[in-house]
Structure 1
Amino acid sequence: MLTQSGHYDLLLLGGHVVDPRNGIDGRRDIAIQGGRIVAVGENLQRSHATEVLDVSKLIVAPGLIDIHTHIYHKATFYGVDPDLIAARSVVATMVDAGSAGAGNFAGLRDFIFARSPFRLLAYLNISYPGIFAFDRDFVVGEAAIRELLSIDRCVEVAAENRDVIVGVKVRLGSNTSGSVGLEALDRAVSAAERLSLPVMSHIGRPPPSYAELLARLRRGDILTHCYRPQPNAPVDDQGRILDALLEARERGVLFDIGHGMGAFGFRSAEQALAAGFAPDIISSDVHSMSVNGPAYDLLHAMSKLLSCGLAAKDVVSMATDAPARALGRADLGHLSVGALADISLIEPMEASYPFVDVTGAERKGKVLLRPHGLLLSGRFMPAPARQWEAEYYRQ
């Protein structure tokens, strides 16, 4: 297929295209014109292209989507620079997971979102000030203060910003919701129902328990940190998957990795996968205390899931098609003709890499997903080096 003028701005030649939405997992060329994909196929004509980029050694994927990040940079201790992280992990879309609430969302939108070349979206925290006091030395749980959990204010601000707000976030756990507990989730669900949006719920140390939290989630809601270590792991002491997870999945609840600094354990992941319980979504939960390890960023988290036995096509799906569907964004997460040319270029490199989880447990991975570059609406951005992996690049 050619454009009406018979011309391509750019031709990506011979890459291993992984496009789960369209059932593609093999060698294809992709032609781009005017910032959109105009052809996907084999042996497209090089002579029709102004520029040709040989991607034959790369995985060519829809623009990656990191559905759980914290990017309220410099306004909260938790926040990291979205432009730096997106570029180094070839992520086209980053979703802030509740850094801001109704009381300070305007700053996130005006000072972070409006200044970034990347697509930035957000879950609005049910707590009015968002995550306002999470530091290395202390935590004040924003969901533990009942007076801050205003359903009306959450609904009002979310309704005013429907172009970028994709759901309601709540953090449940002993140090985040405290004695308020499940009431914080109930309020988040009430706000989300009024907005016809999903909830993303964090699960931390109990209370509440994994089962208690899942019982309140609805179809399309997301449980993030699904492979956290004990306590509140997805498996029992014998490594059996909890019945509550199976029941929730049957209802349509979605399960997200949300790696972060305390929420991804190899033992939990391996036992859940052995029981046939794969995640729906892979995300990084990148923030100031996980950005320099153990999470680093989305591409690193995807590499860890490869080391747990998932196939490349599956980890790509969990970072493209699946989060796009969860966000209700039919325009994202695929490489269909007519779609925006948001494309992640990834180098799969054989390397005996020492992956480390949040407990300090180590696994040797056989494949490291290295960032090559990112196309945003057809504009190529080379990826900066990731220094913590640099020695393996030279192998």
Structure 2
Amino acid sequence: MLNRRQFLSAAAASAVTFARIPKALGAQQTKYDLIIRGGRVIDPSVRLDATRDVAISGGRIGAVEPTIAGDAAETIDARGKLVVPGLLDIHTHTGRSPDGPKLVLQDGVTGWIDAGSQGADRIGDIVAVARSSLQPGRVLINIGRAGILPDGDTMDLARADVAAARDAIAKNRDFIVGVKARLSRDVAGANDREVLRRAQEVASSFGLPLMIHMGQTVSPLSKLFDLLKRGDIVTHMFAPPPNSIVACGSTSATVRPDTCGGTPSARS
């Protein structure tokens, strides 16, 4: 049973890490399967963000150096490009299709979370995709029991079913790592605050994080953020005003005053 932090750690461990090796060892090996030359290598695990060559041998990183003099069966010119370990994407809708995991893997995603594609009624469909995924996949359950709907997940407040969500999590605790509440005007309407309260009730009862999709909500962000706890996630936070967290002179200035030169709030 994984929580969000454990999931990210496990997925990161399964990705290739660009580890430095002693120069003396690197000098001994002059033939590699592949050398990626001149790319901007970003590896947060070793605080690396610099132009480097990366050599690969036998499916493993053999060297990461400013310049690698060895030969290789194949060379990739990565100048002007990013070279990174496997990416972990915590906001996808990968589970909506059995082909989803394969498609995101082609984009370098080696660990994914489906963010609320389904609710309690059909959460098994998403869990099945995660279970068979080529890479680690986990799920946020939509508080709306019918999942994403064209006419709004929780415009009918009865769809924000606490009991159904709890039951679904209990049955799929090995794959469900959080709760999703979509709160936009055309998704929850004037129900947004109550939908969020119910979603938080479910998440907190399992010690799970809550992700909110804010967009343009009926309620001001300050009223919604009051219901969040430490570790919760706000997505689409660069929405245009009035719900932008970086636009001064709007509602956001009272939520994130640090973005407008004021004192940082407790949630910044």
TM-score (norm 2): 0.71
The equivalences for 1:122-137 within 5 A come to: 122-131=139-148, 133-134=149-150
Alpha-carbon distance between aligned partners in 2 of 1:250 and 1:221, rounded to the nearest angstrom:
15
Q: Structure 1: which 5+ runs fail to align? A: 254-395
Task: Answer yes or no: is 1:73 the counterpart of 2:91.
Answer: no
Q: Structure 2: which 5+ runs fail to align? A: 1-20
- Flag the 1:154–1:40 CA change in 2: closer, same or farther, 3 A: farther
Give the SS at the match of 1:184: helix
Q: How many residues align?
A: 237
Partner of 1:93: 111
> CA shift at 1:24, angstroms?
0.8
Alpha-carbon distance between aligned partners in 1 of 2:201 and 2:47, rounded to the nearest angstrom:
37
Alpha-carbon distance between aligned partners in 2 of 1:249 and 1:242, rounded to the nearest angstrom:
10
Alpha-carbon distance between aligned partners in 2 of 1:178 and 1:160, rounded to the nearest angstrom:
30
Give the SS at the match of 1:194: helix
- Flag the 1:41–1:241 CA change in 2: closer, same or farther, 3 A: same
Give the SS at the match of 2:118: strand
Partner of 1:336: none
Partner of 2:211: 200
> CA shift at 1:64, angstroms?
2.5
Alpha-carbon distance between aligned partners in 1 of 2:159 and 2:251, rounded to the nearest angstrom:
38
> What per-residue deviation string (whole Å, max 9, x for no partner) do you get for residues 230-263 of structure 1?
343335674795131248974346xxxxxxxxxx
Partner of 1:103: 121
> CA shift at 1:172, angstroms?
1.2
Alpha-carbon distance between aligned partners in 2 of 1:149 and 1:249, rounded to the nearest angstrom:
33
Alpha-carbon distance between aligned partners in 2 of 1:24 and 1:227, rounded to the nearest angstrom:
27
Give the SS at the match of 1:25: strand
Task: Answer yes or no: is 1:251 the counterpart of 2:251.
Answer: no
Do the aligned partners of 2:32 and 2:70 also contact (CA within 8 Å) in 1? no
- Flag the 1:19–1:115 CA change in 2: closer, same or farther, 3 A: same
Partner of 1:220: 231
> CA shift at 1:199, angstroms?
0.8
> What per-residue deviation string (whole Å, max 9, x for no partner) do you get for residues 52-76 of structure 1?
543442321122233222234369x
Structure 1 vs Structure 2: percent identity of aligned residues?
A: 32
Do the aligned partners of 1:8 and 1:31 also contact (CA within 8 Å) in 2? no
- Flag the 1:33–1:252 CA change in 2: closer, same or farther, 3 A: farther
TM-score (norm 1): 0.50
Partner of 1:184: 195
Task: Answer yes or no: is 1:166 the counterpart of 2:177.
Answer: yes
Task: Answer yes or no: is 1:26 the counterpart of 2:56.
Answer: no
Task: Answer yes or no: is 1:54 the counterpart of 2:76.
Answer: yes
The equivalences for 1:146-161 within 5 A come to: 146-161=157-172
Query: AA paired with 2:96?
Result: H
4+ residue runs over 6 A deviation: 6-9
Give the SS at the match of 1:243: helix
The equivalences for 1:1-395 within 5 A come to: 1=21, 10-14=33-37, 15-30=39-54, 37=61, 40-42=64-66, 46=70, 52-57=74-79, 58-73=81-96, 81-87=100-106, 89-110=107-128, 112-131=129-148, 133-134=149-150, 139=151, 141-234=152-245, 238=249, 242-246=253-257, 250-252=265-267
- Flag the 1:17–1:163 CA change in 2: closer, same or farther, 3 A: farther
Alpha-carbon distance between aligned partners in 1 of 2:250 and 2:204, rounded to the nearest angstrom:
35
Alpha-carbon distance between aligned partners in 2 of 1:195 and 1:8, rounded to the nearest angstrom:
52
Higher helix share: 2
> CA shift at 1:98, angstroms?
0.3
- Flag the 1:62–1:102 CA change in 2: closer, same or farther, 3 A: same
Do the aligned partners of 2:246 and 2:256 also contact (CA within 8 Å) in 1? no
Alpha-carbon distance between aligned partners in 1 of 2:96 and 2:138, rounded to the nearest angstrom:
14
Instruction: Name which of structure 1's ranges 212-221 and 239-248 shifts more when overlaid on structure 2.
Output: 239-248
> CA shift at 1:154, angstroms?
2.4
> CA shift at 1:41, angstroms?
4.0
Q: Considering only aligned residues, what root-mean-square deviation do their CA atoms show, in Å?
A: 3.6
Give the SS at the match of 1:170: strand
Alpha-carbon distance between aligned partners in 2 of 1:152 and 1:39, rounded to the nearest angstrom:
53
